[in-house]
Structure 1
Amino acid sequence: MTEDPVRKLLSELTPSEAKVDAYLGDTYVLETVDQLERLGLDATTFAREHSLLLLKPDAIVARAVESTLEWLSGNGFRVVSAHRVVVDRHLARALWYFAWNIASPERRRLADLLVGISDVLLLVVHGADGDLPVPVRLAEAKGATDPRKRRPGDLRYLLGRHNYLLNLVHSPDDPADVLRELAIYFDERTRAQVLTQAVTGIDRSAAAAELASELYAGVPERSFDRDAAFARLYTELGSVAPESDAECAELLAAAMASGRELDAWSAIVLGSYVFPMRVGSQSQTLRPIGAKDWLEGRP
């Protein structure tokens, strides 16, 4: 029996059999695979040699683009395409569809507030393929979501906002995810432009910096300090000061549910410290893939 060509392709792009099975019927993956074929580009080569780096709304608020571009250059990654992308709750759910079932309801509410803060900057980066494909190397080097696991030299450590939710950047775990996320961020016409631009290999860091300036003009720089966020919200709510994180979380949740007009950024910052981020009783649909998984070739 002839092997399904898409299954064969995906098996070369992720060590996770569960991900292969899930992505076989994923429209986003299939759209990118089909488009690469029509453009005469090898999907395996493209996905191994390129990755994506999303600078989220919190990165725009933090004015983190320039530091990120310097870090990329210093760590062997070249920006070969840069685009301003409009985000909403649907894009967030598409990106994390196979993992976000462990996110707490409070985390999802905060994420919905966050996507309303600013458009985002999406970078396509190129690097040399090797023992680890570029997406795996970038995912490893950017640092963990959990601030306690970040190390000096990691991008997230460098950017200095040591927070679980407000982690500033996102990248695909492995080459299979690159194919999927390209179709989430871009429609067919824009995606064709991105793909053909990326394979030229021309450095477009300057274009990324220009887009950053445009994004900065649309949203003010804000503090990530918990106390500052609490002070702003406490003034707006005019209630009795909570004595614990649990009381603070209850007060904030009630205010958000009531539909009261709150400073969204302050609610995001304070909520990121007092709300639970995960629901431990549920398991992820697809667990994250790391460098060790790739090298050992196991899910």
Structure 2
Amino acid sequence: MTTVDDLLNLLTLEKVTESEFTGESKTVGSPIVFGGQVLAQAVHAAGRTITNGRVLHSMHAYFLEPGDLNQRITYNVSKVRDGGSFSVRRVTAHQNDSTIFILSASFHKEEEGYNHQIDMKPDLKQPEELLSWTDILHQYGDFLPKGLKSFFEIERPIDFKPTFIPNPMEPKDLPPFSDVWFKLKGNVNGLNLSKKQQILTYISDYNILVSALNPHASKAHWGNTQTASLDHSMWYFRDFDFDDWLLFSMESPSTSNARGFARGNIFTRDGKLIASVAQEGLMRPIKK
């Protein structure tokens, strides 16, 4: 995948019945299905059953089994409730006879109300000052660990630019924070809010556990730590566009019992808060 059109083709599922949909998978460099893909496809499936114009405002999901990249995933949607203001859907994802994932999503009618938000971090480096993952690969590829180099070599429909790049040759513990700018590749004009939310959901599973690994970076890295998304929640606040860079600002309040917890906020470049994310992930040291 190299453009937003490729990503949308992946996230758009084939309809089997009014409540069942199926889709394929694309690797992001891992031998199993990327969690963000399953999240976004499930959100897409839930949205296909909403016929009253309500807008997704939150979702909560659990990853139960690793997904097989070579098999299609079937999504079954249950209509839990259609109330006066909210509609709730439950989505179950299957491969063969195994349930690999479950998600609950809530949709809300448009209403007027109070409005406030937190501020974006001040004085962050702007995207034009930073290197993308592709830039890092081209400039430092010969010095990168093999696994990280292979990960950066995968073509993606998104550019990522972290505000800080640690030196892999001099590992040291870091604060439990991470800030990453991101931007879609290709033509982003004409996307409706539902599609934008699906794409944002896909992206939200990238980078978030970095903040949980940072405080242990002197000894822990992606090569000696087994990581996997365990659960994922997301709240969608405001409409936005993908025509400029967006910021994913993340922090990790705690890591314990081989699990890391991280949360983050996604802002437009001019500081509008458009979504918040929370995830707990497996962070199991690999014993030699």
What range describes the TM-score normalised by the shorter chain of this pair? under 0.3
Instruction: Name the TM-score, length of structure 2 as normaliser.
Output: 0.22
Could you say which structure has the higher strand fraction? 2
TM-score by length of 1: 0.21
Structure of larger gyration radius: 1
Q: Which structure would you say has the larger RCO, counting Cα contacts within 8 Å and 6 or more residues apart?
A: 1
